[in-house]
């Protein structure tokens, strides 16, 4: 099915195929995906484990090279970029939040958010990082290391790191998967609120249908192909 957004697209996948080699032979991960996501849109992605959800996110982030097809994100034709250009693209345009936080354990919360910006040449890296950490409710935890923070606090640091560069696109892969229900709900509220205030496009993988259906639309991936569902909010108001 061909997914097309009526809003100006910030993400466009055209006939994207991803095939990986294994000892058992080639495995078709993504099978001819066509997808368009508009600027400022929120998209939930659901589907069985192993269906290709994370692989699609990795392709959009430029972390996985497609076997064939075209991938355009924020005006960049990333399927044709060299690694140095891909790194620049990710640094300036895309924020990524994972289930397992991916914080550097030997860096404080402040450093985890600021150092990537500092390495990119931002003179105001630590000032900006402190502002965003305050926005996620961690103004008093700047000097704490990940091991001194709860799971919810670590995910707040990860959110701050993703949003600190004011990305045009946020990719979230099961961001509540390692959190209890109440903590996960607070992270979801925070993430959606920050994305809305910044006008950031959000693509969110989740196994929680209630979270997915907070989005403008929900895509279901099955066996490497994309289908579109009607969000519950629309269905209930119809």
Residue 4 domain-assigned (yes or no): no
**pLDDT digits 0-9 by tens, 190-237:** 999 999 999 999 999 999 988 998 999 999 999 999 887 665 555 444
The mean pLDDT value of the chain amounts to 89
Which residue segment(s) compose the domain that 156 sits in?
Answer: 9-237
Specify the CATH number for the domain of residue 182: 3.40.50.300
Residue 3 domain-assigned (yes or no): no
What is the per-residue pLDDT for 234?
Answer: 52
Distance CA 125, CA 204 (A): 27
Residue 119 domain-assigned (yes or no): yes
Distance CA 204, CA 24 (A): 31
Evaluate whether 231 touches 215 at the Cβ level (below 8 Å): yes
- Give 28 or 230, the one with higher predicted confidence: 28
Residue 165 domain-assigned (yes or no): yes
| Domains identified in the chain, total number | 1
Residue 129 domain-assigned (yes or no): yes
**Residue 13 pLDDT > 90, yes or no?**
yes
Distance CA 19, CA 178 (A): 29
- The arithmetic mean of pLDDT across residues 163-189, rounded, is 92
Residue 2 domain-assigned (yes or no): no
Q: How confident is the model at residue 175 (pLDDT cuts 50, 70, 90)?
A: very high
pTM over 0.75: yes
Residue 117 domain-assigned (yes or no): yes
């Amino acid at each position: 099915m061909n997914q097309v957004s009526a809003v100006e697209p910030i993400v466009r996948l055209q006939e994207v195929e991803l095939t990986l080699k294994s000892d058992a032979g080639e495995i078709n991960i993504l099978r001819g995906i066509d997808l368009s996501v508009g600027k400022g849109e929120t998209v939930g992605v659901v589907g069985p484990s192993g269906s290709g959800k994370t692989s699609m996110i990795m392709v959009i982030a430029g972390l996985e090279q497609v076997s064939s097809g075209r991938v355009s994100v924020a005006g960049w034709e990333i399927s044709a970029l060299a690694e140095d250009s891909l790194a620049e693209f990710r640094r300036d345009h895309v924020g990524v939040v994972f289930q397992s936080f991916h914080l550097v354990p030997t860096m404080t919360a402040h450093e985890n958010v600021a150092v990537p910006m500092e390495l990119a040449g931002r003179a105001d890296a630590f000032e900006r990082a402190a502002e965003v950490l305050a926005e996620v409710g961690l103004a008093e935890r700047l000097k704490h290391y990940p091991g001194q923070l709860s799971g919810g606090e670590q995910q707040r640091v990860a959110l701050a790191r993703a949003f600190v560069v004011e990305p045009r696109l946020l990719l979230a892969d099961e961001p509540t998967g390692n959190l209890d229900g109440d903590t996960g709900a607070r992270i979801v509220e925070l993430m959606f609120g920050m994305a809305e205030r910044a006008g950031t496009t959000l693509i969110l993988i989740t196994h929680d249908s209630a979270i997915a259906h907070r989005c403008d639309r929900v895509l279901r991936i099955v066996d490497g192909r994309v289908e579109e569902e009607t969000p519950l909010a629309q269905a209930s108001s119809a």
